[in-house]
Homo-oligomer: A and B are copies of this chain.
């Protein structure tokens, strides 16, 4: 499928203008744009500007509040619960992460559970906010139910990602950002476009049988937890997704399990709503709350170099450290621009027409 390349600045200008048009403040539009486009820069195309019109549709059906009053509703020296006031997760999560960072400055660590939010883009963007403070950052979120727990046909969990970002010294930071499923939904979309089968262990059909159909989610199928099946450890992926749900929603009072609001605005809201909106969990640990930061960072450099110098399997070029592929994408795309599929370009043009904004590109 044909692609068109856009400079980061051009996409950022347009995205911010759209957020301003729906009523976001200058500051919120700026924050949301940075969070959203960090996905495009890092090569997570499914979570970036391709979703902009999806966020707008959520605003149109009043599931997103463009002018939220985001506030702390409970706190201790090392914890807080934040109410996102139905705001964009792209704005609520950075607010909550900043709260975690301020608490870590005071008492060593900060942990913030968030209720009443919406999808927050990629977890890495929020977790990485901690790095400049010499802190380890963590970010998780629950999401619409697409995943069946081990032994079930019911979709009970989202792809519930976990990100951990840790600073290094001379080496770039360690950034692990992973959905707790074998493959995220975006990977299925790629196979759909290419008319290819899904590998074993990614999805099951509505009866719980192995499936290789990338369209199976629309036919009652489900994504599988990391591991794929019981024999390959899917109960572990299920448990990790469950932990994300508990930290993000049970601690905050957000919706959980199959009751998490869907991203597509045309999908009706669950009838039962045990909580408010979507939940996130953000954490920050000051490295020097454990050990002098320079010692930690030297050890991280040694650790990273040890892995990067591992002997590769014959046929593989090199061993990667978590965060390497995304950082390579970011360097290249910041320099050379971000490729968008034509369907995404058309979608953004439509958004431009709706808001009387010009979206360039042939």
Using CB atoms and an 8 Å cutoff, list the residues of chain A in contact with chain B.
74, 76-79, 81, 106-109, 111, 113, 136, 149-154, 156, 162, 164, 166, 174, 176, 178-183, 199, 201-202, 207-208, 226-228, 231-233, 235-240, 242-243, 245-247, 250-253, 256-258, 274-275, 285-287, 289-291, 295-296, 299-300, 302-303, 306-307, 310-314, 316, 318-320, 322
Bound form: Cα–Cα A258–B309 in Å: 12
Asked if A243 and B176 make an inter-chain contact with CB atoms under 8 angstroms apart, the answer reads yes
A242 in complex: contacting residue of B174, B247, B257, CB < 8 Å: B174
What are 23 A-to-B residue pairs whose CB atoms are below 8 Å?
A76-B108, A77-B106, A77-B107, A79-B285, A108-B111, A151-B320, A152-B311, A153-B312, A154-B310, A154-B319, A156-B306, A164-B239, A174-B242, A176-B240, A199-B232, A208-B314, A226-B226, A226-B227, A238-B322, A242-B307, A251-B291, A251-B296, A253-B291
Q: How many copies does the complex hold?
A: 2
Bound form: Cα–Cα A199–B57 in Å: 46
Asked if B76 and A318 make an inter-chain contact with CB atoms under 8 angstroms apart, the answer reads no
**A contact face: mostly helix, strand, loop, or mixed:** mixed
Asked if B290 and A74 make an inter-chain contact with CB atoms under 8 angstroms apart, the answer reads yes
Shortest CB–CB separation between residue A254 and chain B, in angstroms?
10
A150 in complex: contacting residue of B154, B274, B291, B319, CB < 8 Å: B319
Asked if A311 and B246 make an inter-chain contact with CB atoms under 8 angstroms apart, the answer reads no
CB-CB under 8 A for A243 and B156, given A79-B285, A233-B226? no
Asked if A239 and B152 make an inter-chain contact with CB atoms under 8 angstroms apart, the answer reads no
Bound form: Cα–Cα A356–B152 in Å: 52
Chain B residues with CB below 8 A from A312, complex form: 151-153
Chain B residues with CB below 8 A from A240, complex form: 162, 176, 178, 240
Shortest CB–CB separation between residue A309 and chain B, in angstroms?
9
Asked if B228 and A232 make an inter-chain contact with CB atoms under 8 angstroms apart, the answer reads yes
The chain B residue with its CB closest to the CB of A199 is B231
Shortest CB–CB separation between residue A255 and chain B, in angstroms?
10
CB-CB under 8 A for A307 and B252, given A107-B77, A176-B242, A320-B235? no
Given contacts A156-B307, A251-B285, 15 further A-B contacts (CB under 8 A): A78-B289, A79-B109, A79-B285, A151-B312, A153-B311, A156-B306, A162-B240, A166-B250, A176-B240, A178-B235, A235-B320, A245-B303, A250-B300, A257-B307, A274-B299
Asked if B174 and A246 make an inter-chain contact with CB atoms under 8 angstroms apart, the answer reads yes
Shortest CB–CB separation between residue A156 and chain B, in angstroms?
6
Shortest CB–CB separation between residue A125 and chain B, in angstroms?
17
Bound form: Cα–Cα A250–B294 in Å: 12
